[in-house]
Chain A
Amino acid sequence: MTDLTKLSLAGALDGLRSRSFSSVELTQAFIDAIEASNDTLNAYVVKTPEKALEMAAASDKRIASGAAGALEGAPLGVKDLYCTKGVRTTACSNILGEFTPTYESTVTQQLWDRGAVMLGKLNMDEFAMGSSNETSRFGPPANPWRRSGSNQTLTPGGSSGGSAAAVASDLCLGATASDTGGSIRQPAAFTGTVGIKPTYGRASRYGMVAFASSLDQAGPIAKTVEDSAILLEAMCGHDAKDSTSLPEPVPNWRDAVHRGVEGMRIGIPKEYRVDGMPDEIEALWSQGVEWLKAQGAEIVDVSLPHTKYALPAYYIVAPAEASSNLARYDGMRYGARVSGDNLVNTYEGTRSAGFGQEVQRRLMIGTYVLSSGYYDAYYLRAQKVRTKILNDFQNAFESCDALLTPTCPSAAFAYGEKAGDPVQMYLNDIFTVTANLAGLPGISVPAALDGQGLPLGLQVIGKALDEEACFRVGGALEQAAGFVAKPDKWW
């Protein structure tokens, strides 16, 4: 039998429906692959093989009785940020101890309702704060990609590094992820996978461990653009349990993937040509323009003048909201408690032991910018700058239907290469963070290998609620790029 783990999600769903193989066979293939690889890759932080086989057997019964759901029998991985009933969920932070939810997040519930099978929980930066997955309490995962001729371990990106590494190394058919400043799209670009963040409000945040509530959004990492559309359709939809969830129907995005870009106007924002960007990324961007032109799209130059203010605004808004959200971790009702000689010492000891250095830094920044007398100067000003950034996009979208940009200013880097200077690490998100601040959908599609043999991604940003444009352009780029490279298996 061929290696079932190499299938795309769409291919696997076809095979399951035509009874070429069972979900139990498919699931066992992934369990075996995880068993053989995970000690090296560290993509999964919790493995749930018994639960997976149980779910797979139930799927096989439903397939046999003609009651198959949209994802029936498909084994997926879940970022450790999603609460999963009865399965430890810690957002890769020590402060959550052995926290085991007694309820299920809406997004994962929707996957199981459609027949998906859970393989386990995936590694991530602690509380999704990071761009390299180095801040996880379980240690970093390894990117299955390496530079040609080198055996140095590279980061799969972050914060959804485990999701990206697992999809790229065929340890699941697809994975849930989440994106606050680029945490779906940057890891996808670093691992040759596809990642999409939908419009803010498309997917419910209920049961997702909160980082920055006005920016956090769920989305998938997948092997192909079509797979990402299948998963996103299953993940989205209105949920009364999240007051920011939009009461909008979920379109048929899968159909949009192969619709082509004939007649679409694609904007190229000049401010995304940043100093120090490698020539290869500049060249790939131009190549992307040519690919879309050749398929009948019209290219339009646009300007997003407030782009340079996006990251500084983000580093006010995100830490401020995090400092508020993470106030709940006091060691009283759940998580690990470190007892002190009085209540304040207990709080301080618990939080000092439970939060890692990067989380502590961001909580202090957030507390600082929200502290008495500073609210207007920092948080309120940053929220006004967000309005200016959104206005930039709205002006640009008067002359185009979607924007094409690189996903990241570099390919995957090695651990430690950027750890010294927090601002250098933050700059990784320069092309992705604008879509979070403005609430817009963005997709990253693998488009080429650089000179060192590492994948590079192109990003498509759409109008609010126009994920369809992301899928059309993403599908066109995927087809033109013909990106089929896989990392050489060393793990």
Chain B
Amino acid sequence: MSVSKDDVRKVARLSRIAVSEDRLEPLANELTSIMGWIEQLNEVDVDGVEPMTSVVDATLPMRDDVVTDGNIQDQVLANAPKSDDGFFVVPKSVE
């Protein structure tokens, strides 16, 4: 499995990480090496094997669909890079 510069460009975009043009080639080489090492998993016969979910049999617990928290606007906004009048201030997202 060879990871190309274009693959890296696409994956970087999907990951929302800006990668400069001169980093594409080294990253492609690193990812090719790592993915090549991972390929050995293809040797394992996994026919009829269930994917693992948990070591201890446990069913996901259900809870009542009720409000148990809230009225903490100050706490929610406490770490906001930008906020105003009780709202997060974010860049324009609709053109």
Interface residues of B, dominant DSSP: loop
B16 → A minimal CB distance (Å): 4
How many pairs of residues, A versus B, come closer than 8 Å at their CB atoms?
A: 162
Given contacts A332-B80, A346-B91, A364-B27, 7 further A-B contacts (CB under 8 A): A102-B78, A312-B38, A336-B81, A337-B81, A337-B82, A351-B15, A355-B17
A18 to B28 CA separation, bound complex (whole angstroms): 62
Interface members, chain A 219-261 (any B CB < 8 Å): 240, 243-244, 246
Give the residues in chain A near B44, CB-CB below 8 Å.
306, 309, 381, 384-385, 388
List B residues at the A interface (Cβ < 8 Å).
3, 7-8, 10-19, 27, 30-31, 33-35, 37-44, 46, 49-52, 54-56, 58, 60-61, 63, 72, 75-76, 78-82, 88, 90-93
Query: Which of A127-135, A204-212, A292-300, A365-373 is near enough to bind chain B?
Result: A365-373
Give the residues in chain B near A315, CB-CB below 8 Å.
34, 37-38
Q: A349-B18, A364-B17, A368-B3 are in contact. Are A312 and B40 (CB under 8 A)?
A: yes
5 contacts between A and B (CB under 8 A): A100-B78, A201-B55, A332-B80, A345-B18, A365-B31
For residue A354, which residue of chain B has the nearest CB?
Answer: B17
A420 → B minimal CB distance (Å): 11
A423 in the interface (beta carbon within 8 A):
yes
Interface residues of A, dominant DSSP: helix
A352 in the interface (beta carbon within 8 A):
yes
List A residues at the B interface (Cβ < 8 Å).
97-100, 102-103, 199-201, 240, 243-244, 246, 306, 308-309, 312-313, 315-316, 323, 327, 330-337, 339-340, 342-349, 351-352, 355, 360-361, 363-365, 367-368, 371, 378, 380-388, 390, 422-423, 437-440, 464-465
B81-A384 in contact (CB<8A): no
B73 → A minimal CB distance (Å): 11
A365-B34 in contact (CB<8A): yes
A349 to B17 CA separation, bound complex (whole angstroms): 7
B41-A382 in contact (CB<8A): yes
A243 → B minimal CB distance (Å): 6
A251 → B minimal CB distance (Å): 15
B9 → A minimal CB distance (Å): 11
Give the residues in chain A near B60, CB-CB below 8 Å.
243
Q: A97-B81, A309-B40 are in contact. Are A390 and B55 (CB under 8 A)?
A: yes
Top-5 shortest CB links A-B = A439-B55, A383-B51, A334-B79, A352-B18, A386-B52
